[in-house]
């Protein structure tokens, strides 16, 4: 992770502020001047009032001083408060802008990252920087609003106290320095332990989200998993509490020392001012001013310590956020995508998942010709899905190269390459938008409703959709619409096939697209697939060997290698593993038919 200093991060935040919202940038400067003005007025006006009251007692002068005091307070104090209130919302908007950047990175990062726990930890840490008004980037922006004013106030107080005794001012300055150093130390300890507990925090958040996730709700209830999940949540909390307890005991001694230093500081200033007053060196007006200065200074110093400590604490989160945004993306990936028809060549491709020892795919060499329909079959875990993901460039091969029309796919513009494919995955993950939007993946005003209807007809869903009160505009699920509908697993799968048909990419990639369908719809879908994929390159993963018959070539994968390749008839004639699997399944189907 890139470790930016606090200064560098402040510069980063202010640069964004000046680019996005100049008025907010200006407000920071004005607020500082107003705050220092209010502090000076609170020191000087009482001094002159007391001087006048204990001296000539002129009513017009007293009235003038009072009016001046009132006006300065009004402008500086109320003006400052008004700015705080007005610009609060500007800072929220700034946070949303940073959030957008984060979201953009999450949505576009390489797919392989989304399965990497270390990356997910970093993503979570970066997100922490943007979750709240009071912490992370926005919290820092709020604190920075008051910080320059506090610094100016301390400078004003120190110059007043310096006129009492320069040595006293220097002692106070040193004292403040030590206070800063100790607070800094406290925060360092805090941060170290917080970073350690990030992993537990992410797990804890997962357990919270599981409790609200409709996808898990059935299993949790039917298998009575709540006790198990609660115990896992408690274990996360226990670990966090243990770390927090260690932190508190380490911080206690530092806080005690801080308190002793504060006592010493006040005692010395008071004693010296009283001595000077009793010796007749200063009058009551100056005495009052010095005492006010020390009180005012302490208030500002505590504000600075608190604000800077906060900013230092948040710095690692901002670093996480910035590093997350700057994480290297794909390199040299802006090459043009060739025009069709497409031939894909996998040359000695091997792949190992991050953090895993064994290879999921080993030395796979394969040519997929334009318009060829290929079925990938094999046991669970033999590497079929991994091969599809490599072909679609969701992962980069660990070894070997994949070519599309003789161009290495890793050199092509990723989005252009993705557009070649119309995928249907096994996992059903619809968006909580309307049915039309789910099929077309376009906003309603851009959709081709007629084409959408044809695609839904092809998968046998049109009658159902037509019968819904809002037709294509009916929402899926209730996350975004109270009257959203829930479709069955099989209906959802057909909807996703309709999406692939609508998308009309040159290559159909289907990873068990019919696993949730009943046999009638399954047969129907295969008939449709046979028709719509005619002439189109299709790579198709299925456990049901009956379904592979519309394919030109069948590849059998075993432990990450292609061990058999040929048409259905050729593989049966080979009497190998495919023929064996076929016998088992054919027997099952025969029994089912007989039953
Ligand atoms: P299939 O599709 O044939 O069932 P996969 O391609 O999904 O097989 O998996 C091949 C191997 O890779 C298996 O051993 C599986 O455990 C492993 N694997 C799959 N996905 C991941 C992942 N995201 N992280 C680590 N290992 C994985």
Which tens digit of pLDDT belongs to each residue from 476-514? 888 778 888 888 878 888 898 899 999 888 899 988 877
**Taking 70 as the threshold, does the pLDDT of residue 165 lie above it?**
yes
Ligand 1 centroid distance, CA of 352 (Å): 9
Q: Which of 110, 111, 384, 385 to mutate to test the pocket of ligand 1 (most atoms within 8 A of CB)?
A: 385
Q: In this predicted model, which residue has the larger pLDDT, 158 or 240?
A: 158
DSSP summary character for residue 155: H
Q: In this predicted model, which residue has the larger pLDDT, 415 or 98?
A: 98
> What is the reported pLDDT for 594?
53
Ligand 1 centroid distance, CA of 214 (Å): 26
Q: Name the pairing type of β-strands 537-541 and 507-511.
A: parallel
Ligand 1 centroid distance, CA of 81 (Å): 58
Between the alpha carbon of residue 575 and those of residues 319, 383, 534, the distances in Å are 60, 22, 29
> What is the reported pLDDT for 467?
92
> What is the reported pLDDT for 507?
93
3-state secondary structure of 543: coil
Q: Under a CB-based contact definition with an 8 Å cutoff, are residues 440 and 452 in contact? A: yes
> What is the reported pLDDT for 589?
60
Cβ atoms within 10 A of the Cβ of 490, count?
17
- The residue whose CA has the least distance to atom 21 of ligand 1 is 353
> At CA 506, angle to CA 500 and CA 512, rounded to 5?
45
> What is the reported pLDDT for 474?
93
What average pLDDT score do residues 13-29 get?
A: 93
- Ligand 1: atom nearest CA of 389 is 6
Helix/strand/coil percentages in the chain, nearest 5: 65, 10, 25
Beta-bridged to residue 565, according to DSSP, are 555
**Taking 80 as the threshold, does the pLDDT of residue 283 lie above it?**
yes
Whether the predicted model's global pTM rises above the 0.85 cut: no
Lowest-pLDDT range of 129-143, 223-237, 265-279:
223-237
CA distance 156 to 166: 14
CA distance 499 to 502: 5
Return all residues near 423 (Cβ < 8 A) that are at least 6 apart.
388, 392, 500, 505, 508, 509, 510, 511
Determine which helix (DSSP H) or strand (DSSP E) holds 407, and give its type and residue range: strand 407-408
- 408-427 tens-digit pLDDT: 999 888 888 998 999 988 77
- The residue whose CA has the least distance to atom 27 of ligand 1 is 353
Give the pLDDT band of residue 531 (cuts 50, 70, 90).
confident
- The residue whose CA has the least distance to atom 17 of ligand 1 is 360
pLDDT averaged over every residue in the chain:
87
CA distance 60 to 69: 14
CA distance 553 to 96: 51
Ligand 1 centroid distance, CA of 494 (Å): 25
Token output for 98: 């940073």
* Among the listed residues 510, 506, 557, the one whose alpha carbon sits nearest the alpha carbon of residue 529: 510
Q: Under a CB-based contact definition with an 8 Å cutoff, are residues 172 and 296 in contact? A: no
CA distance 284 to 263: 24
> What is the reported pLDDT for 590?
61
């Amino acid at each position: 992770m890139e470790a930016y200093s606090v200064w560098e991060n402040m510069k980063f935040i202010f640069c964004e502020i000046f680019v996005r919202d100049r008025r907010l940038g200006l407000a920071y400067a004005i607020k500082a001047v107003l705050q220092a003005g209010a502090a000076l007025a609170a020191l000087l006006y009482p001094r002159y009032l007391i001087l006048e009251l204990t001296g000539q007692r002129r009513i017009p002068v007293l009235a003038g001083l009072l009016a001046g005091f009132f006006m300065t307070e009004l402008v500086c104090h109320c003006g400052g408060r008004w700015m705080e209130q007005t610009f609060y919302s500007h800072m929220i908007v700034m946070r949303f802008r940073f959030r957008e950047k984060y979201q953009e990175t999450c949505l576009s990062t390489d797919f392989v990252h989304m399965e990497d726990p270390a990356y997910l930890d970093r993503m979570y840490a970066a997100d922490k920087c943007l979750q709240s008004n009071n912490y992370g980037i926005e919290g820092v922006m709020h604190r920075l609003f008051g910080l320059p004013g506090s610094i100016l106030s301390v400078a004003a107080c120190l110059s007043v106290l310096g006129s009492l005794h320069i040595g006293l001012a220097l002692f106070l300055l040193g004292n403040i320095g030590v206070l800063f150093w100790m607070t800094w130390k406290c925060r360092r300890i805090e941060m170290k332990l917080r970073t350690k507990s990030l992993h537990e925090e992410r797990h804890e958040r997962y357990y919270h989200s599981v409790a609200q996730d409709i996808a898990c709700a059935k299993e949790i209830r039917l298998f009575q998993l709540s006790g198990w999940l609660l115990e896992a949540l408690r274990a996360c909390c226990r670990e966090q509490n243990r770390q927090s307890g260690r932190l508190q005991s380490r911080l206690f001694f530092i806080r005690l020392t801080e308190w002793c230093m504060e006592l010493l500081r006040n005692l010395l200033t008071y004693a010296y001012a009283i001595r000077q007053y009793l010796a007749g060196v200063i009058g009551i007006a100056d005495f009052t001013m010095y005492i006010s200065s020390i009180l005012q200074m302490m208030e500002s110093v505590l504000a600075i310590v608190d604000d800077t400590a906060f900013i230092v604490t948040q710095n690692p989160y901002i670093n996480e956020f910035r590093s997350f945004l700057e994480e290297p993306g794909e390199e040299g990936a802006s090459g043009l995508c060739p025009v069709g028809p497409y031939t894909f060549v996998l040359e000695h491709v091997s792949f190992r998942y991050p953090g895993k020892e064994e290879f999921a795919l080993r030395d796979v060499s394969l040519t997929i010709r334009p318009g060829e329909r290929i079925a990938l079959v094999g046991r669970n875990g033999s590497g079929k899905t991994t091969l599809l993901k490599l072909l679609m460039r969701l992962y980069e091969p660990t070894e070997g190269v994949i070519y599309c029309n003789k161009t290495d796919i890793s050199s092509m513009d990723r989005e252009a390459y993705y557009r070649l494919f119309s995928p249907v995955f096994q996992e059903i993950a619809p968006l909580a938008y309307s049915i039309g939007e789910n099929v077309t993946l376009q906003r309603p005003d851009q959709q081709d409703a007629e084409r959408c209807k044809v695609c839904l007809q092809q998968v046998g869903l049109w009658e159902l959709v037509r019968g819904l009160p809002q037709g294509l505009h009916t929402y899926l699920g209730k996350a975004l619409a109270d009257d959203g509908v829930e479709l069955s697993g099989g209906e959802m799968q057909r909807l996703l096939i309709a999406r692939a048909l609508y998308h009309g990419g040159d290559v159909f990639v289907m990873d068990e697209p019919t696993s949730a369908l009943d046999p009638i719809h399954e047969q129907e879908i295969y008939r449709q697939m046979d028709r719509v994929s005619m002439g189109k390159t299709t790579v198709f993963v299925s456990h049901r060997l009956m379904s592979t018959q519309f394919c030109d070539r069948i590849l059998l994968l075993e432990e990450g290698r292609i061990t058999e390749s040929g048409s259905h008839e050729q593989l049966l004639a080979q009497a190998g593993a495919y023929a064996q699997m076929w016998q088992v399944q054919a027997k099952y189907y025969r029994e089912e038919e007989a039953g």
